[in-house]
Amino acid sequence: MDDIVHVISRAQEMSLDDTYKRLEDVYYSLNDSIDRLTTRMDELKQEMDMIRRQNAIRSEASLDGLTRPSIDGGYEYLKKRLVTVKLLEDKLDEINFSQDLMREDFSQRLEDLDETTQARLGMHQHIINNF
């Protein structure tokens, strides 16, 4: 009888170990993805800030008389920069959306693993109680 309980107990431990390994596989891969996206998002924010500063410097230089203002040239340049900033902002939105989806997926996987673990534990408890 003790041997059977020991075998079942060991099976429970192995099942929990397996569950924790699966959880770590899910967590660390998602965490790495989120870290990469966060890093990329920070890089894009820095690039957007640099573009905004360059635009501010160019507009100040055009207005202070040091350079001859060209309405058409300045407009085209600013328009291109504005499009670039808009594209970067859209990319940031996509990254944020991806991060939200990954968090939801991770939460769902955690819930699934929890349900599986609880079911296995219940099954093993039932087997132990029958002995």
Q: Tell the residue number behind the tokens 């085209």, with chain if given.
A: 76
131 and 1 in contact (C-beta within 8 Å)? Answer: yes
117 has pLDDT over 80: yes
Q: What is the mean pLDDT of residues 17-40?
A: 78
66 has pLDDT over 70: no
Name the pTM for this structure. Answer: 0.40
Task: Report in angstroms the alpha-carbon separations of 45 from 12, 40, 55.
Answer: 48, 9, 15
Tell me how many degrees the CA angle 44-25-21 measures, rounded to the nearest 5: 155
Tokens of 61: 């230089």
Q: What percent of the chain has pLDDT over 70?
A: 83
Domain extents in the chain: 2-130
Q: How many CB atoms lie within 10 A of CB 14?
A: 10
Q: Which of 29, 31, 36, 44 is nearest to 93 (CA)?
A: 44
pLDDT band at 71 (very low <50, low <70, confident <90, very high): low
Averaged pLDDT of the chain:
76
